[in-house]
Structure 1
Amino acid sequence: MREIRINFTDFWPDFIKTNNYFYNLLIQNYKVIIDEINPDLLIYSCYSEEYLRYKCIRIFFTGENVRPDFTACDFAFSFDYKTRKNHFRLPLYSLYIDHHKMLEQLTYEKTRLEAQKKWESKSKFCCMVVSNAKCQKRLDFFKNLSKFKKVDSGGKIFNNVGGPVEDKYDFIKDYKFVLSFENSSYIRYTTEKILDPIYKDCIPVYWGNPLVSNDFNDKRYIDYDDYETEEKLISRLIEIDENDELAIDMILQPPFSEKKITHEQEHIEVLQILIKIIQSKKKPIAIGFWSEIHCLKLYYKGFKMSFLIFYKRVDKKIKLSFPNRIFILK
């Protein structure tokens, strides 16, 4: 089996380099070695800029609502639909399916009796688990729904259960509804927020991607944007809460849209892409001209501006000073 040296950078804090979506695909065809110094292949995300240190093939993955910078990567996986040859749509929730080994449970076809028992075991009305205060629509709806019936908050925002919960899945399983609002709304941007409640046989109340029905079965969740007013949406939630048969009909629905490729087919296609990239003799973007590029994000007077700073690497640090900001470039 051929050996391949890879590394992962700029992912979320609990990302495990030897147990993740990409690693577990690659070990099917390669002897994979994590090399943090001189990898053949780097897979990086959007939470830092460590990727700039590496002169090798770079593959970008984002779970956030950000666009790939194709001047810095050879290939990108993101939530966008395919717009170019070196891009493939891989939404964040796919990584959650693998990491939490959800697929078997998500695709299991329950009997009506099984669904009834699941629903009847739910003793609480609605919850959310949120630590990001940026989505005002989510916060406003939490307050509005709470006027009709108690909504529990297990995250850092509006926490009313004695502190942030340690295990989100264990927390939400007792609730009929889960507020599943994305941090922001953008076409095609779908994360794990709609998936988690479905996994635990809850009903998601979703807001975010206007095309979410291309990913998930629209009979399996409640879409905020389907209702003219929040009052009508809340009335629908109360109706389902008081009618078990309506709820059981929903949780019996298959979770995914018929338009979506299967998770197994997605695995096949992603692995084929990775193999093709590894076998390619094309000189990676990260070597040569683009190795002399660093991306500097300037934040000034509340406006976000992105600039590409071109310079040749030198031994000395370059210090750039701006009002209230200091940037050190190595």
Structure 2
Amino acid sequence: MKPTIKLNFVDFWSGFDPKNNLFTKLLAGYYDITIAEDPDFLFFSCYGNDYLKYNCPRLFYTAENRGTPRFAADYSITFEFSKSSTQYYFPYYAYGYLFLDKTAVLTKLISKSEASEIWNKKNQFCCTVVSNPNGIKRNAFFDRLNARKKVNSGGKYKNNVGGAVSSKREFVGLHKFVFAFENQSYPGYVTEKLTDALESQGIPIYYGDPRVGNVFNKKRFLSYEDYKSEDDLIDHILEIYDDKEAYISIISEPIFINNDLPEYLDSEKLLAFLKWCINDSKGIVPKGQTYKRQLHNTWLLIRRGIKKNPFLRRTLLIQYR
């Protein structure tokens, strides 16, 4: 008979289902789970502050480039590299692959003959599908590449294909090159932007995690940081576009180094961490019940005050930039 446990999930993204997600899916094989307002263990994310209502052990998970709130979280699953036993490295793109049980697509190799067919099928040059206008590096590179050869923009931002596309997957699949720019560059922060582009069987133009080459095979995509200038990168893109054999060689490469899935794509390892957190939490005083709760709440009040006071915000930016 499985032990019972009361869980809750707060401050997650819109549409997140507390009863049907990666964490409950993994834990359901070992626990009889009830979603409750008085949980034994709380999962929380970065889209609100409802977690402050709970004094039980808390685990922080984020899909954004946000660090762990150390005074609020007893455990965390994030993109951060840490030697702490209470933190698990798990880049955002991994969530979907484990939840949908589709990690096998990331190790499926493309043969030379298949790559040749892909080259023939992809009759468009390059594309991007973006609605967020805040990617400064991405936006500048789009303008520079688009000035040399038209880049199809299928999102809401800088759309030049007659409106936002209805199917990103189908649209991207027509193009030989795909923008895969993260909104920010930070070690370990890798989202679905890179893996979606790789799954499309095109060549991603990637900007983001400076350590991406520690796991992903850099022969399979073009890394912005590997070029001395944007013009050098653009020249290389256009050279490959005119060279079928060079293109085939790149998309025939494995996605990961030696075609080995990284450890964080092993659901058993994530499950082991979750079970350890739950067991360990029975012997701790949760941070929600200690002085760290007051420190965290005070910091939140200060941060809100800074955001609401333009003069104070401007002064701090000038003083500490």
TM-score of the superposed pair, with normalisation by structure 2:
0.87
The verdict on how the C-alpha distance between 1:230 and 1:11 changes in structure 2, with shifts beyond 3 A counting, is same
More helix by share: 2
In structure 2, what residue type is equivalent to 1:9? V
Query: Which of the residues 275, 286, 290 maps onto 1:284?
Result: 286
Distance in 2 (alpha carbons) for counterparts of 1:267 and 1:146: 41
The verdict on how the C-alpha distance between 1:15 and 1:23 changes in structure 2, with shifts beyond 3 A counting, is same
8 Å Cα contact 1:94/1:263 also seen in 2: no
Distance in 2 (alpha carbons) for counterparts of 1:58 and 1:288: 13
> How many Å apart are 1:243 and its aligned residue?
1.4
Indicate the residue corresponding to 2:254 in structure 1: 254
Higher RCO (C-alpha under 8 Å, 6+ residues apart): 2
8 Å Cα contact 2:155/2:165 also seen in 1: yes
Indicate the residue corresponding to 1:59 in structure 2: 59
Indicate the residue corresponding to 1:164 in structure 2: 164
Indicate the residue corresponding to 1:107 in structure 2: 107
More strand by share: 1
Query: Which digits, 9 at most, give the CA deviation of each residue in 1:213-255, with x for residues without a partner?
Result: 1131111110111111111111111111111221121111111
Q: Is 1:187 the equivalent of 2:187? A: yes
| Superposed counterparts of 1:79-90, under 5 Å | 79-90=79-90
Indicate the residue corresponding to 2:9 in structure 1: 8
> Mind listing any 5+ residue stretches in structure 1 that lack a counterpart?
306-330
Distance in 2 (alpha carbons) for counterparts of 1:229 and 1:303: 38
Indicate the residue corresponding to 1:28 in structure 2: 29
In structure 1, what residue type is equivalent to 2:285? K
> How many Å apart are 1:13 and its aligned residue?
1.5
Q: Secondary structure at the match of 1:193?
A: helix
Indicate the residue corresponding to 1:316 in structure 2: none
8 Å Cα contact 2:72/2:287 also seen in 1: yes
The verdict on how the C-alpha distance between 1:144 and 1:243 changes in structure 2, with shifts beyond 3 A counting, is same
> Mind listing any 5+ residue stretches in structure 2 that lack a counterpart?
315-321
8 Å Cα contact 2:182/2:193 also seen in 1: yes
Q: Secondary structure at the match of 1:6?
A: strand
> How many Å apart are 1:42 and its aligned residue?
1.5
In structure 2, what residue type is equivalent to 1:243? D
| Superposed counterparts of 1:39-78, under 5 Å | 39-78=39-78
Distance in 1 (alpha carbons) for counterparts of 2:239 and 2:117: 19
Q: Secondary structure at the match of 2:193?
A: coil
> How many Å apart are 1:105 and its aligned residue?
1.6
8 Å Cα contact 1:55/1:291 also seen in 2: no
Q: Secondary structure at the match of 1:140?
A: helix
> How many Å apart are 1:50 and its aligned residue?
1.6
> How many Å apart are 1:277 and its aligned residue?
1.6
Distance in 1 (alpha carbons) for counterparts of 2:15 and 2:258: 32
Moved more, 47-56 or 98-107: 98-107
Q: Secondary structure at the match of 1:144?
A: helix
TM-score of the superposed pair, with normalisation by structure 1:
0.85
Q: Is 1:301 the equivalent of 2:310? A: yes
Indicate the residue corresponding to 1:96 in structure 2: 96
Indicate the residue corresponding to 1:152 in structure 2: 152
The verdict on how the C-alpha distance between 1:265 and 1:168 changes in structure 2, with shifts beyond 3 A counting, is closer
Q: Report the number of matched residues.
A: 304
8 Å Cα contact 1:214/1:260 also seen in 2: no
> How many Å apart are 1:303 and its aligned residue?
6.5
8 Å Cα contact 1:240/1:247 also seen in 2: yes
Deviating runs (4+, > 6 A) in structure 1? none
> How many Å apart are 1:261 and its aligned residue?
5.6
Moved more, 264-273 or 39-48: 264-273
